[in-house]
Amino acid sequence: MYNEILKELEGKIKTSLEVKNIEVKKKRNSKLKFLSIKDFYSTNLYQIVNDIQLLLNSIAKEKEQSEHKDDESPASKITMLSLNWADEGLSTHFNEVRNKRQQVQNYWVARSEEILDGAFTCKILVENISETSRNNQFYHGAGIIQHDKNVSERGYYAYACCLFLSNGDIRKSFEGNPNTNIKTLKPWKNGDIIIIKRDTDNDLWFGLNDESDMVKSANVPGSFRIVMGFINADKENEVFNMIYLQ
């Protein structure tokens, strides 16, 4: 009886020791794993922190750029547009228009390829204009025209336009009457730069050579093209170039 009790006690002690050894082994393994992880992070801590900081900096920079872009006004977003005149079978070639007699009765116009919906600035170089015609109010006009108007010799194109004429007159918008002036600037001459500008309030301005001395024409929201209009007279070698459109 005593021997059986002793054997049973020894068995329990042995089992208890085995369980304890297993627990000790688990703890040892866990400690070794922890020390391994600790050594890894200790060795690479600087690099990890640096990588995290770089990532945070990159996110902050992208956010700042996005907010700055959203805050920009339309006038500050400058885009270079096409300087070409539309190819409508008249005497235009890329950004150049030449004044010469066309196969129409009274007048003809050159219109820009670009349709302008917002603020813009356009500059047209008077490369060559004849002295005998530049002071006549009917010979040349520069400005904007309603983009969807298909003008012809049956209707005076000025009714669809806001114009600055080569004699210096600035016409009342969309009225073809040549006697209705807002203000008069200097007549065009060779080398002059015609300036046509619409601001963010849709106010249209005209100037000659100097943007600091512009004359307001009208408030004209909507879609327009740059236009140059000519009376259909026997003129040769008069040349105008669109040199800037943003």
pLDDT at residue 218 above 80?
Answer: yes
Of residues 170 and 44, more confidence is placed in 170
CATH fold label, 76-245: Jelly Rolls (2.60.120)
pLDDT at residue 116 above 80?
Answer: yes
φ, ψ of residue 22 to 5 degrees: the values are -65, -45
- What are the DSSP calls for 71-118, one per residue? H--GGG-------PBP-SSSSEETTEEEE---SSSSEEEEEBS--B-S
pLDDT, one tens digit per residue, over 150-182 is 665 555 778 889 999 888 888 888 877 656 677
Angle at 9 between CA 8 and CA 12, to 5 degrees: 90
pLDDT band at 81 (very low <50, low <70, confident <90, very high): confident
Of residues 40 and 124, more confidence is placed in 124
Closest CA to 115 of 229, 222, 217, 200: 222
Locate the domains of the chain by residue range.
2-71, 76-245
Compute the distance between CA of residue 221 and CA of residue 51 in angstroms, rounded to an integer: 51
